[in-house]
Structure 1
């Protein structure tokens, strides 16, 4: 059965390591017959949540007029959401956090989603991505019916493209194929 995938990717670099893992995951999912749309957050205008709660009184419509309304529609339509971020100081990067915060406008309607998480970091330690993963898991936990299906760790990659020769590329492709 074909699924609709949405991949919000916060890689700052077009040829960065988390972007490369997203491409491999996507390739695998598409070869399995799924429709995948990747949104590179660096190409979108997403303002910070103002905590004004305009959305609460306007049917989930945010007071900020930017690219987030379209992204929220895509999140609602998706069966699977693949969150991807490089690790900056043990956390998600600065482009991913506003996306997560702005889902407050429709967090009650973004439900029953399968989640995959893709992370990359320069460090190679086993704990370097713990906080990042907890950010992703905390977000998914707030959405009714969410289920985590997989996590991809690209450790020890700093230079753009460093991940290309690592086994995690095959892992990302295989996970996409199984999704």
Structure 2
């Protein structure tokens, strides 16, 4: 059994990525994992200032919601980032959070596997490539962790449209069952 932390980054109400993240979480729970989901909705997360004080203290000098998320991430066995694809890239709030997780680099983090679930209006296979590459770049900075896989669900646009998409919900559930 792994402790899995799922971080959803869409700020949209009735988010399609949140709907699919719920299915993924159900699959992971049914596979016997302990799952916690965090949404960035309503969170205050400032931009990284680049001061690098966190490399000595393992804490950011800013006192906002990123600190609590970092504390949960450091203790998870597996991290899953869920993002809508905007302009062929991860959401801006996801990138801001990744930058703010800088204190984890020099910390004794527990996670070894990192995954991504992405959702977009466009459905071509290349659509998530830059988002996956961006997350891969972040994971590459953690020598004890690796990027373990991604699921892309394309062709979903309108708010809550994913709630009526049984095939994608099933894919997300199965993806959750395979998380380690």
TM over 0.5: same fold?
yes
For the residues of structure 2 that align with 1:53 and 1:133, how far apart are their CA atoms? 25
Residue 178 (structure 2) aligns with: 178
Q: Contact 1:56–1:105 (CA<8 Å) still a contact in 2?
A: yes
**C-alpha RMSD of the superposition:** 1.5
For the residues of structure 1 that align with 2:149 and 2:53, how far apart are their CA atoms? 34
3-state SS of 1:5 partner: strand
User: Structure 1 stretch 107-116 or stretch 72-81: which is displaced more?
Assistant: 107-116
CA shift, 1:166, in A, is: 4.4
CA shift, 1:55, in A, is: 1.5
Q: Contact 1:91–1:129 (CA<8 Å) still a contact in 2?
A: yes
| Structure 1 pair 32–14 and aligned structure 2 pair: CA distance change class (3 A) | farther
Gaps of 5+ in 2: none
For the residues of structure 2 that align with 1:112 and 1:4, how far apart are their CA atoms? 9
So what's the TM-score if we normalise by structure 2?
A: 0.91
CA shift, 1:147, in A, is: 2.5
So what's the TM-score if we normalise by structure 1?
A: 0.92
CA shift, 1:18, in A, is: 0.8
CA shift, 1:111, in A, is: 5.3
Gaps of 5+ in 1: none
Residue 108 (structure 1) aligns with: 106
Residue 87 (structure 2) aligns with: 89
Residue 133 (structure 1) aligns with: 132
3-state SS of 2:47 partner: coil
Residue 6 (structure 2) aligns with: 7
3-state SS of 1:72 partner: helix
Of the three residues 65, 68, 71, the one matched with 1:67 is 65
CA shift, 1:91, in A, is: 0.8
For the residues of structure 1 that align with 2:114 and 2:174, how far apart are their CA atoms? 16
CA shift, 1:114, in A, is: 1.1
Q: Contact 1:153–1:168 (CA<8 Å) still a contact in 2?
A: no
CA shift, 1:112, in A, is: 4.5
CA shift, 1:163, in A, is: 2.4
For the residues of structure 2 that align with 1:111 and 1:140, how far apart are their CA atoms? 13
For the residues of structure 2 that align with 1:149 and 1:178, how far apart are their CA atoms? 10
After TM superposition, where is structure 1 displaced by more than 4 Å over at least 4 residues in a row? none
Asked if 1:54 corresponds to 2:56, the answer is no
For the residues of structure 1 that align with 2:103 and 2:11, how far apart are their CA atoms? 25
